Structure 1
Amino acid sequence: MDLQPQEVQALTPLLAAEAAAEAPGAGVDAADLEQAVWVRLLEHPDAALPPEPAGWVRGAVRAEARLARRRVRREAPYATEPPASHDAGPEPAVLAAERRRVLRAAVGRLPARCRPLLALLLSPSDPTYREIAGELGMSQGSLGPMRSRCLGCLRRMLAAEVAPPVRRGMEP
């Protein structure tokens, strides 16, 4: 779809208003609804701009809100981990503390855009995606891709620091 700048400027306030109206009922952030509708609009490059863009925007926002409501209903929290055994001795606690220290040190060496996100994800208060998005001033829908990129960077960084496993048995 070839959207002209003036068309985008004309649709933006309407889209923002419609998303703000539908977001509370869908249980999602208004910016996430806006982003989903822009993606929907730009997914079909061959299609022409609908004859009545305002009606199309209203319908698209409502459709994305319905999808979001269904997603929210299907989401389930992860099961919590069982408490650690108290008779195992101090070793597991010391090893866990060392792993947390190494992880926090690695997070401190990440690129500047990843540090605050991973610090919030590792926070003991366990904030929700909505709270993290509000804290960082970004849309909730952008957190997942950014989290994936940052975790990949952290994974590569930690893999470079960890010695490769020692081969056992007959070596080829």
Structure 2
Amino acid sequence: MDSNTEVLGGWRSGLCGWDVLVERYSRLVWSVPRSFRLSHADAADVYQCTWLCLAEQLTRIRRPEHLATWLVRTATRQSIAVVRARGREVSLDLWEPESTLPAPDEVAITNDRQRRLWSALMTLNERCQRLLRIAAHSPELSYAQVAEALGMNVGSVGSTRSRCLAELRRKLEALQ
């Protein structure tokens, strides 16, 4: 029996397993909406909705060893829904004090770097995109946790990550 099975079983029987689950997978769940470049508030909403969905579906989870994958998929669906909804809105932040705004040239340079990075990232295959997003947003996750979340073999996470980063570097150099 793996640790997720024990924790889920403990939570179902009223023990303190929920805190263990949240602590174990919090950064993974948080990394998904942030990888969609959602605002902090929207990412927090997705994060909360994902945990709410887990609480609602907890008794239906048949394979606790795949919990990380279930959480990533649920957070991804929630993030896509937010992106679609936000695509119909125009956001204006009129309450930002002018003194804290960066200089226009700093904004232009930052925007250009981000645009090039995201352009290069989006040309990678889906597996590399997902792996690099999780690595960037949840670097503390073990290879086993990343492998579980992405449905990969643990032994291939490091080499795949290296190949993906090398490909991303090549694509970024080509964009300069």
Give TM-score, length-normalised by structure 2.
0.35
Q: Which structure: greater helix fraction?
A: 2
Q: Say which one has the larger Rg.
A: 1
